[in-house]
């Protein structure tokens, strides 16, 4: 872990900050909040109150996985660009303002927005990474200027060195999440290529074992009020 002297803020700073709950993920997931510290917003993913077995196995795996992913994507538009471990069980990630896609009226989702979603996925793949949780509407954000952003890289996988077919399969799962949104919001504007790709990937997805979040469906989570609605 980085020296505390080099951290943007500490646990003590967090205690004094304006913190708003986004989601309490129960036993197997982090408590997720947004905190404003020194004039900057951060998403806080905190496993410190979970069972010791969760904290010292699953929690460390997913937090360090997300930290490595964000460092790998540094400089890309449409993803968080900063993150650090606040302590052994807590990750702070640059907060991207906006509304999660689930809360965006359908008429606001444009072809340009979805094309930019595709561009984000392609840029991530060029960095040898797959997100693997793109199908839902909770990880996609519409920023105040109407552009997309992709968040939550806990399920991400580094693809450098993987067999070509496996890498291609995972990348298809990512892009399939965008085609799903074309089908939902703008089916008449998909075009022949996206239609065929969506059908192909939908068939492939039947082979995908990690449905939901890393194979586990999110249930019974307590949610706070939306931040940017």
More confident residue, 196 or 226: 196
pLDDT digits (tens, 9 = 90+) for 92-140: 999 999 999 999 999 999 999 999 999 999 999 999 999 999 999 999 9
Closest among 80, 175, 185, 78 to 132, alpha carbons compared? 175
Burial class, 107, CB count within 10 angstroms (exposed 0-12 / middle 13-18 / buried 19+): exposed
CATH superfamily name and code, 99-205: Transferase(Phosphotransferase) domain 1 (1.10.510.10)
Q: Are 9-96+218-223 and 99-205 the same fold in CATH?
A: no
Quote the tokens at residue 17: 């900050």
pLDDT score of 80 more than 60: yes
- Listed by start position, the domains of the chain span 9-96+218-223, 99-205
pLDDT score of 225 more than 60: no
Out of 2.60.40.10, 3.40.30.10, 3.30.200.20, 3.40.50.150, the CATH code matching 9-96+218-223 is 3.30.200.20
pTM of the model: 0.88
Q: Given this model, what pLDDT does residue 23 score? A: 85
Q: Given this model, what pLDDT does residue 214 score? A: 44
Contact 66, 91 (CB under 8 A): yes
């Amino acid at each position: 872990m980085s020296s505390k002297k080099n951290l943007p803020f500490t646990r003590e700073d967090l205690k004094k900050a304006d913190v708003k709950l986004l989601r309490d993920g129960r036993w197997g997931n982090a408590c997720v909040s947004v905190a404003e510290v020194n004039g900057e917003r951060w998403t806080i993913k905190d496993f410190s109150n979970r069972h010791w077995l969760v904290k010292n196995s699953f929690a460390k795996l997913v937090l360090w996985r997300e930290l490595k992913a964000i460092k790998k994507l540094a400089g890309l538009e449409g993803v968080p660009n900063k993150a650090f471990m606040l302590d052994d069980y807590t990750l702070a990630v640059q907060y991207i303002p906006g509304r999660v896609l689930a809360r965006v009226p359908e008429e606001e989702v444009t072809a340009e927005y979805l094309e930019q979603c595709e561009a984000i996925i392609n840029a991530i793949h060029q960095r040898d990474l797959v997100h693997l949780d793109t199908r839902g509407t909770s990880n996609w954000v519409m920023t105040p200027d109407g552009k997309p952003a992709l968040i939550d890289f806990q399920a991400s996988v580094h693809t450098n060195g993987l067999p070509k077919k496996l890498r291609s399969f995972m990348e298809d799962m990512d892009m399939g999440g965008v085609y799903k949104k074309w089908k939902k919001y703008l089916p008449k504007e998909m075009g022949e290529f996206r239609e065929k790709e969506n059908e192909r990937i939908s068939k492939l997805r039947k082979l995908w074992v990690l449905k939901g979040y890393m194979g586990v469906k999110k249930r019974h989570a307590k949610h706070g009020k939306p931040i940017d609605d």
